[in-house]
């Protein structure tokens, strides 16, 4: 594999980014002082952390689960990111304590998985399709890299290098090694992270091997089933359909370079696509990159909710056919939206195209952020776009992948804002604070100040140590129809310097240069493709990156009866007392009136309507008040 890289830019590490933002800083602090400690307690009380002591014996409850390791790993990752940006001696001590438990649980040959060490050791590597061993290994590797980069401590990194070395000795194309791939993808992207931090190319080659195993005929999972008991085979029920054996559930239906449609379990798919993008970057594999582009277009243009949620079906926690986007029954797992953000960021670094940043932002402010309560203690696993009032966040789940996932995303937010290359600085997200970069051989501090996402007036100061020539690239979001730009008070023509959604100001920058970008933020009516049957005759409301919804708490009427006329005036108002301080949308609509109806179910006379004043609030903040109906899509005429 050639040692090439295709990235046009690289993300700036969170250790070089300081966030001082009215919207995000309180959330990051809540994540640090509430969410991360809450998740530690949950992992402790449910037995996940102490399971690494390997003291479980038959008959003892709780029985460790085969994916418990991944929950602890994501907590370590979230805590490590937090530690990288805010010193915390107690959190540092807790991390060392948990990591030491993990290190001591490692087996003499390097293997590391609680369940298959103490519960069913005879089943190690027997059911890769459904038993999550490689998935857990991947999350532990990610945790090790994050902890090392945050603290410089090698304890967990050395443990996971040893585990990865063992995995590389078991799986591979050489004599004495075995075929196989993870049923739940994740280790692919983790191995590339491990390669990047260690320089050991063996990890990159192993990632590529796992990716290339998918889509074999017969399937690696089908061959695996031949050696399973009937009882264990039943766990692979997702691999069968009316036509026989089908592993599209885990994206194994075709070799990855031939795939064009996103199928199967959404989180698995997103993690696979992340790994594909990473391997494509490091190996110069254009066929792999072309597949990523095709799959991206399929997801974003045919299978994604307006919130950035993906995976519409509860049956497979994933994709069905194009335009199948039910609202109340939407699955839209929090982890899937987060993984879409991961994939978006990777494609963005490769292509330098704002369409990837647009989706990254959409999922961040809507489909992912909805997954955590404002107080940082409760979580959505599923994110529907309509509710009858019975869907609520919970403090924890038996399958607890989502809580630590949203925690690690928020803790690492700084790494999504900026990118750098030899001669260019990119601003992807408008989040106040500053970052220290190295562009054109010069140290450059870039500072942002705004009230985003509520206001599109953004001030950016560029402070090179000395005068330096480079390009400053600012994203013009896809949702913005009108923008203006000024440099040191002089207006600039955006159209002449805009490419792939970024305006590029290339000049010899002087300390103190000021750029002002203004993104127009009217309230917008959004319509769905006509093939999305549920949304025909409906609109959704958005403003800037935020998607809004109706809640019964503001609109004490059956929400399905509210009709929004095309010419209704819509007003955005900031309410500092509402839901932690949000912009709300108010407007005049019509309400279908049932006061003149009796007991009849049908009648010939038309139904009366009356004027109705409604309020819509940001979707991410729903389900924080008196339980009641919620809906994103509003009837329109």
Domains and CATH numbers, the chain: 18-416 (1.50.10), 419-519 (2.60.40), 524-636 (no CATH)
> What is the spatial distance between Cα 607 and Cα 605, in angstroms, rounded to a whole number?
7
Return the pLDDT at 2. 38
Return the pLDDT at 262. 98
At a CB cut-off of 8 Å and minimum separation 6, what does 478 contact? 354, 355, 358, 501
Closest CA to 458 of 433, 495, 424: 433
Q: pTM here?
A: 0.97
> What is the spatial distance between Cα 99 and Cα 446, in angstroms, rounded to a whole number?
36
User: Which amino acids are annotated catalytic?
Assistant: 317, 401
Q: Which 8-state DSSP code applies to residue 484?
A: E
Return the pLDDT at 229. 84
At a CB cut-off of 8 Å and minimum separation 6, what does 294 contact? 259, 260
> What is the spatial distance between Cα 63 and Cα 47, in angstroms, rounded to a whole number?
9
> What is the spatial distance between Cα 524 and Cα 91, in angstroms, rounded to a whole number?
43
- With contact defined as beta carbons under 8 Å apart, do 204 and 232 qualify? no
Return the pLDDT at 587. 97
Return the pLDDT at 243. 64
Return the pLDDT at 5. 54
Residue 372 corresponds to which tokens in the numbers above? Answer: 């955590």
The backbone torsions φ and ψ at residue 246, rounded to the nearest 5 degrees and listed phi first, read: -150, 110
> What is the spatial distance between Cα 337 and Cα 370, in angstroms, rounded to a whole number?
10
- With contact defined as beta carbons under 8 Å apart, do 108 and 132 qualify? no
Return the pLDDT at 477. 98
Dump pLDDT digits (tens) for 277-316. Answer: 999 999 999 999 999 999 999 999 999 999 999 999 999 9
Return the pLDDT at 233. 79
The backbone torsions φ and ψ at residue 452, rounded to the nearest 5 degrees and listed phi first, read: -60, 140
Kindly report the number of other CB atoms within 10 A of residue 455's CB atom: 17
Closest CA to 619 of 401, 266, 380: 380
Place of tokens 């992270």: 193
- Residue 540, sorted as left (phi over 0), alpha (psi -120 to 50) or beta, turns out to be beta
Return the pLDDT at 103. 98
Dump pLDDT digits (tens) for 3-49. Answer: 445 789 999 999 999 999 999 999 999 999 999 999 999 999 999 99
Task: Pick out the chain residues at pLDDT < 70.
Answer: 1-5, 241-243
Sheet-wide strand order for 468-475: 10-11, 418-420, 424-427, 468-475, 502-509, 498-499
3-class secondary structure, 270 = helix
């Amino acid at each position: 594999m050639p040692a090439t890289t295709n990235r046009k830019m690289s993300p700036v590490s969170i250790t070089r980014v300081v966030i001082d933002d009215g919207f995000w800083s309180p959330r990051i602090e809540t994540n640090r002082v509430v969410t991360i400690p809450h998740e530690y307690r949950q992992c402790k009380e449910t037995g996940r952390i102490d399971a690494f002591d390997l003291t479980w014996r038959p008959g003892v409850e709780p029985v460790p689960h085969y994916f418990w390791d991944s929950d602890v790993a994501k907590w370590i990752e979230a805590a490590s990111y937090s530690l990288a940006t805010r010193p915390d001696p107690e959190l540092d001590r807790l991390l060392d304590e948990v990591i030491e438990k993990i290190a001591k649980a490692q087996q003499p040959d390097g293997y590391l998985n609680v369940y298959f060490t103490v519960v069913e050791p005879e089943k190690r590597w027997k059911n890769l399709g459904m038993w999550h061993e490689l998935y857990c290994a991947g999350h532990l590797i990610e945790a090790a890299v994050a902890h090392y980069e945050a603290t410089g401590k090698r304890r967990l990194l050395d443990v996971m290098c040893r585990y990865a070395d063992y995995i590389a000795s078991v799986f591979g194309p050489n004599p004495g090694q075995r075929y196989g791939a993870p049923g739940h993808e994740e280790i692919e992207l983790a191995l590339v992270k491990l390669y990047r931090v260690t320089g050991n190319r063996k990890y990159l080659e192993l990632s590529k091997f796992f990716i290339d195993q998918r889509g074999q005929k017969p399937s690696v999972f089908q061959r695996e089933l031949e050696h399973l008991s009937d009882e264990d085979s039943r766990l692979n029920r997702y691999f069968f359909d009316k036509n026989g054996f089908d592993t599209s559930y885990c994206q194994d239906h075709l070799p990855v370079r031939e795939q064009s449609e996103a199928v199967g379990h959404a989180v698995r798919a997103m993690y696979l696509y992340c790994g594909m993008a990473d391997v494509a970057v490091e190996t110069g594999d254009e066929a792999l990159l072309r597949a990523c582009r095709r799959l991206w277009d399929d997801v974003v243009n045919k299978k994604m909710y307006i919130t950035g949620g993906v995976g519409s079906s509860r049956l497979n926690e994933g994709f069905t056919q194009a335009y199948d986007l039910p609202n109340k029954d939407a699955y839209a797992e929090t982890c899937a939206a987060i993984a879409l953000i991961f994939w978006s960021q990777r494609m963005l670094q490769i292509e330098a195209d704002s369409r990837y940043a647009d989706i990254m932002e959409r999922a961040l402010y809507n489909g992912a952020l909805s997954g955590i309560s404002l107080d940082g203690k409760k979580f959505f696993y599923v994110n529907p776009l309509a509710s009858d009032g019975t869907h609520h966040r919970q403090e924890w789940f038996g399958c607890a992948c989502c809580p630590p996932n949203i925690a690690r995303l928020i803790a690492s937010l700084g790494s999504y804002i900026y990118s750098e290359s030899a001669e260019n600085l990119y601003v992807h997200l408008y989040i106040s604070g500053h970052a220290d970069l190295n562009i054109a051989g010069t140290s450059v501090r870039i500072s942002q100040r705004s009230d985003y996402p509520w206001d599109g007036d953004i001030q950016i100061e560029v402070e090179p140590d000395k005068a330096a020539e480079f390009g400053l690239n600012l994203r013009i979001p896809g949702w913005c129809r009108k923008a203006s730009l000024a440099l040191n008070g002089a207006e600039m023509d955006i159209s002449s310097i805009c490419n792939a959604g970024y305006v590029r100001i290339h000049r010899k920058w002087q300390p103190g240069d000021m750029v002002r970008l203004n993104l127009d933020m009217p309230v917008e009516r959004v319509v769905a493709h006509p093939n999305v049957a549920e949304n025909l005759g409906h609109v959704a409301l958005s403003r800037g990156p935020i998607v809004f919804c109706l809640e019964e708490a503001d609109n004490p009427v059956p929400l399905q009866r509210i009709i929004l006329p095309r010419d209704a005036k819509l007003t955005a108002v900031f309410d500092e007392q509402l839901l932690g301080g949000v912009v709300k949308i108010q407007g005049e609509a019509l309400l279908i009136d049932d006061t003149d109806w009796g007991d009849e179910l049908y009648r010939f006379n038309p139904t009366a309507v009356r004027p109705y004043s409604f309020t819509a609030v940001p979707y991410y903040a729903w389900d924080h008040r008196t339980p009641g109906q919620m809906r994103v899509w509003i009837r329109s005429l």
